[in-house]
Amino acid sequence: MCGIVGYTGTKAAKDILISGLKRLEYRGYDSAGVALERAQEGGTTLDVIRRVGKVAGLESELAGVDAASTCGIGHTRWATHGRPSMVNAHPHVSCDGRIAIVHNGIIENFAELRTELEGRGHRFASETDTEVFAHLIEEAYAQTHDLLAALREACARVVGAYGIAAVCADEPGVIAVARKDSPIIIGRGEHGSYVASDIIAVIDATRDVVVLEDGQFARLTPADIEYTDAQGVPIEPAVTHIDWDIDMAEKGGYPDFMLKEIYEQPRVVRDTLVGRMTAGELDIDELGLSMEELNLIDRVYVIACGTSYHAGLIAKNLIEAWARIPCEVEAASEFRYRNPIITPSTLVVAVSQSGETADTLAAIRDARIKGAKVFGITNVVGSPVARESDGVIYTKANKEIAVASTKSFIGQVVSLTLLALLLAQVKGKLTTGQVRMLFRELGDTAEQIQWVLDTQGEHIRDAAAACVDAHSALFVGRGMGAAIANEGALKLKEISYLHAEAYAAGEMKHGPIALIDPGFPVIAVATKSPVYDKTVSNLKECEARGARIIVVATEGDDDIREIADHVIYIPRVRDAFCAITATVPLQLLAREVALMRGCDVDQPRNLAKSVTVE
Ligand code: M6R
C-alpha cells in the first residue's frame, strides 16, 4: 500500500506534495520521494528527490530546494517488490531521466517486461516491479511525443494493478494519469489540478473530484483536465462532491479503521493470490527452499501469537488433510521454552502481521539454531521475521491500523492455504489439476466475503444486541469451525472487553456447559461440513439450558432456525475455505458489540499494534 499525490498549477508544488504525502503516510512510510519540474536555460528538467523512511525526512531534504516548481508528483511507499531502500523508492525514472513516474499496485508480468526492455538496452536502477512502467513509457514517448498516449501504450503492455502518475520534462506542466484496480482521484482547485490515490491528500484544495474508473486516463494541466478511455476517446466522467471531514477522509468514509479494514478483505484475497499461479503451476518463488528440500519435510510447526496463531490453527487442518504431514501449532511464547522435537527435515512456519513480534522472533532464532528450516508469513516487507527466515510469503493486506487484526488474518489464511497446496503437490498428495481447482475456489472467497459484507449487516447488528449486556460468551464449532471460533472469541474480548472463550463444541459437555444459564450467548460456527450434524446436536444441548444461540450458517440452511435465535449466513463454500468467509461475520459482530458498549474499536485499552517485548 502506497500513496500518490500530484499537482500542476500556480503554487509551489513541493509544499502541496509534502502536505499531501504527510496525509497519506498512514498508508506506508518505508520511503518517500518527489519529482519536481525545474525550468532552466535550454528547457525543463526533472529533479527527483527521495529519502528512505518517513515523509519528515524528505521534507527536511526539500527545505533546501527552491519553491519555483509548480508541477510535480510524489509518493510514499509501503514496500512490496524490493526492500525499503533509496533505489527502490519512487519516483522511478526513464534511462534519460526525462520521464518520472509514481505507482501504486503490483505489475504481475514485470519480470518478462524487464527482460524484454533490458534486451533493448534499457538500464534498470531498482528491484521494483514499478520501474518497467518508466521504461515502457520512455519507448512509447519516443514514437508518440505525447505523454498521455505513451502512458496508454505502456498500460496496454502491463498485467496487474496500477494507479500511476507520470511527468515528462518535454511536456512541462502536464501530469498523465491512469488507473486499474488501484484508486485514483482527480480534482480541480482554485490554484490548479490535483491527483491523489486518496482524497485525504488533497481535500483542502478540492472537494469536487473524479474517481477514475479502471481503464480511464487523464491529462492534468494547470488550467484544465482532459479524460479519455483506453482508446484515447474523450470522456466526461461524473464528478463527486466530498463532504467528509478530515477524520472521515482518512478512514475512507468509514467511521473507524477496523470497519475500513474489514471491507478491504475481498481485495486482500485477490492481491495475495496475484502472481501465484503461473502457466497453471503454483508459483511461490520466494520460498527459499528447493522442491527436493520441501519433499523431505516430515513435520511442520506453525509458531505465532494472537490472531496469527489462529491462522495457524486453520493451516494445521489444511496441511494435515492435503499434504498428510503432521503439523503442530504453538504459541511462539511457549515454543522456545518447550524443547520441541526439531530435525533438519522440520519446517517451522512463523506467522506475524507486523513481522516484529518479539516472541515469534525469539522462536524463529531458536528453531534455526536447532536446525529447522524457517519460513515466514508476514505483512511487512523487510521486517525482522522476513529477514531472519529462510523464505517468506508476503500477505498483501497492506498497512493495518486498527489494533485488532482483521484483514491481515485473511491474508495469512490465504498465504498458509497456498503453502498447504504447495506441500501437498510436492508430496504428490494432490494432482496439479486438483491444486488448480482448489486455487480457483480459493479466489472465489473474495466474492463470498463481499456477499457477507453486502447482505448480513442487519442480522449481525441484531445478534450483537443480544450479546451486549452479557457477562461472558462462548464461541463454539467443530473442525474448521472450532478453529474459527478461537478468532471470534479473541476479537470480541479484545475490543469489547466482554469475556469470551472458544471451545470445541463437542467439549462443552465436559465442563463449559455448566456456565450456561438462560440468555447466555453461545456463538456457533455451524456451516455445512462433515461435522454439521454433530455441531447441531451440541447446540441443542445448549438450547435446552436456555442459551441464546447465534449461528454462522450456510446460506439456504433454514433448519438451523429451529434452534438458533439469530442466524448470520455465509455463502456455500468448501469446508477448507470456510475460515476465510466465516470469520468475517465474527469480526463484524465483535465490532458491533464493542460499539454498543461504547468502546474504541481501533485502539482498545492495554494493547499495542506491535508487541516487541517478550
Ligand atoms: O504482528 P503479529 O501478527 O505477530 O501480532 C500477533 C498478535 O499480537 C496479534 O495478532 C494480536 O493478537 C492482535 N491484537 C489480534 O487482533
* pLDDT tens per residue across span 479-498: 999 999 999 999 999 999 99
CATH class for the region spanning 456-596: alpha beta
Neighbours of 45 (CB within 10 A): 14
Neighbours of 296 (CB within 10 A): 15
Q: Which of 611, 612, 613, 614 to mutate to test the pocket of ligand 1 (most atoms within 8 A of CB)?
A: 611
- CA-nearest residue for atom 4, ligand 1, is 352
Average pLDDT in the 517-530 region? Answer: 96
pLDDT digits (tens, 9 = 90+) for 350-387: 999 989 898 999 999 999 999 999 999 998 776 889 88
The sign of the torsion formed by the CA atoms of 139, 140, 141, 143 equals positive
Cα(303) to centroid of ligand 1, in Å? 12
Which is nearest to 468 in space by CA: 498, 489, 503?
Answer: 498
Which is nearest to 373 in space by CA: 339, 348, 398?
Answer: 348
Average pLDDT in the 37-60 region? Answer: 92
Q: Return the C-alpha cell found at 99.
A: 520521464
Measured CA distances, 50 to 4, 60, 74, 173, 312 (Å) = 14, 11, 9, 21, 39
Q: Can you list the positions of beta strands (E) in 379-481?
A: 391-394, 472-477
Which is nearest to 313 in space by CA: 420, 430, 436, 435?
Answer: 420
Inter-residue contact 566 to 462 (CB < 8 Å): yes
Question: Phi and psi dihedrals of 71, rounded to 5?
Answer: -145, 130
Q: Which atom of ligand 1 is nearest to the CA of 406?
A: 16
Cα(592) to centroid of ligand 1, in Å? 20
Inter-residue contact 521 to 548 (CB < 8 Å): yes
Q: Which atom of ligand 1 is nearest to the CA of 404?
A: 16
What's the CA gap between 97 and 202, in Å, rounded?
27
pLDDT digits (tens, 9 = 90+) for 595-612: 999 999 998 888 777 776
Q: Which residue matches cell numbers 449486556?
A: 469
2 is catalytic: yes
Task: Check residue 274 and give its pLDDT.
Answer: 87
Q: Which of 305, 388, 399, 610 to mutate to test the pocket of ligand 1 (most atoms within 8 A of CB)?
A: 305
Question: Phi and psi dihedrals of 557, rounded to 5?
Answer: -85, 90
Sequence ranges of the chain with CATH classification 3.60.20.10? 3-250
Cα(258) to centroid of ligand 1, in Å? 14
Neighbours of 468 (CB within 10 A): 15
Helix 407-426 vs helix 578-596: angle between axes, to the nearest 10 degrees? 160
Q: Which of 261, 307, 583 to mutate to test the pocket of ligand 1 (most atoms within 8 A of CB)?
A: 307
Please name the helix (run of DSSP H) or strand (run of DSSP E) that holds residue 590, with its range, or none. Answer: helix 578-596
Q: Return the C-alpha cell found at 287.
A: 520460498
Cα(609) to centroid of ligand 1, in Å? 7
- State what percent of residues in the chain have pLDDT above 70: 98
pLDDT category of residue 246 using cuts at 50, 70 and 90: confident
Q: Return the C-alpha cell found at 282.
A: 503454483
pLDDT category of residue 25 using cuts at 50, 70 and 90: confident
Q: Which atom of ligand 1 is nearest to the CA of 405?
A: 16
Ligand 1 pocket (Cβ < 6 Å) reads: 305-308, 352-354, 357, 360, 403-405, 494, 607, 611
Q: Which of 303, 353, 388 to mutate to test the pocket of ligand 1 (most atoms within 8 A of CB)?
A: 353
Task: Could you please state the CATH topology (level 3) that the domain comprising 275-448 is classified under.
Answer: Rossmann fold (3.40.50)
Inter-residue contact 492 to 473 (CB < 8 Å): yes
Cα(299) to centroid of ligand 1, in Å? 25
Options 429, 528, 534, 609, the catalytic residue:
609
Out of 3.60.20.10, 3.40.50.920, 3.10.180.10, 3.40.50.720, which CATH number does the structure's domain 3-250 have?
Answer: 3.60.20.10
> Which range has the top average pLDDT, 292-296, 336-340, 609-613?
292-296
Read off the DSSP letter of residue 320. Answer: I
Antiparallel, parallel or unpaired: β 281-282 and 192-196 = unpaired
- CA-nearest residue for atom 9, ligand 1, is 306
- State what percent of residues in the chain have pLDDT above 90: 76
Task: Check residue 162 and give its pLDDT.
Answer: 92
Inter-residue contact 134 to 107 (CB < 8 Å): no
Cα(404) to centroid of ligand 1, in Å? 7
Number of alpha carbons in the 13 Å side-chain half-sphere of residue 584: 35
Measured CA distances, 562 to 107, 247, 383, 521, 530 (Å) = 50, 44, 49, 16, 20
Q: Which atom of ligand 1 is nearest to the CA of 305?
A: 6
Sequence ranges of the chain with CATH classification 3.40.50.10490? 275-448, 456-596
Q: Which atom of ligand 1 is nearest to the CA of 610?
A: 1
Q: Return the C-alpha cell found at 117.
A: 526492455
pLDDT category of residue 336 using cuts at 50, 70 and 90: confident
370 is catalytic: no
The identity of residue 439, as a single letter, is F
Residue 181 pLDDT > 70, yes or no? yes
Q: What are the counts of helices (DSSP H) followed by strands (DSSP E) for the chain? A: 19, 27
pLDDT category of residue 27 using cuts at 50, 70 and 90: low
